[in-house]
């Protein structure tokens, strides 16, 4: 699954460039695969890339930004970092 997601990301970057919302979506998908594999560092890396792109392109009040915060919270929760998870969930809910 990861190889297919990475190939899709590469195609999306070639088509639209690094800063496109569709590229952000692929980063989120890859982050979810890494989270399912318990590879939390890479999961956070990709979810943070998704958040950064969405903030830049869509703005801080967009629902996709809320989803990014939620996904980051899920990773922190899986790691047992509940304070960090709670902060991300609260940011998501504020949007």
Structure tokens at 9: 């990301």
70-79: pLDDT as tens digits: 999 999 999 9
Whether pLDDT at 1 is above 90: no
Sequence-distant (≥ 6) Cβ neighbours of residue 27 within 8 angstroms = 9, 46, 47, 49, 50, 53
9-49: pLDDT as tens digits: 999 999 999 999 999 999 999 999 999 999 999 999 999 99
46-61: pLDDT as tens digits: 999 999 999 999 999 9
Note the pTM of the prediction, 2 decimals: 0.94
- Section 74-89 average pLDDT: 98
- Section 80-85 average pLDDT: 98
């Amino acid at each position: 699954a990861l190889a297919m997601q990475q190939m899709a990301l590469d195609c999306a970057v070639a088509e639209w460039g690094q800063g496109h919302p569709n590229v952000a979506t692929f980063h989120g998908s890859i982050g979810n695969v890494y989270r399912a594999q318990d590879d939390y560092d890479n999961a956070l890396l990709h979810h943070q890339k998704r958040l950064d792109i969405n903030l830049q392109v869509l703005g801080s009040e967009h629902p996709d930004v809320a989803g990014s915060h939620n996904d980051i919270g899920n990773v922190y929760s899986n790691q047992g970092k509940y304070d960090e998870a709670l902060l991300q969930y609260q940011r998501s809910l504020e949007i």
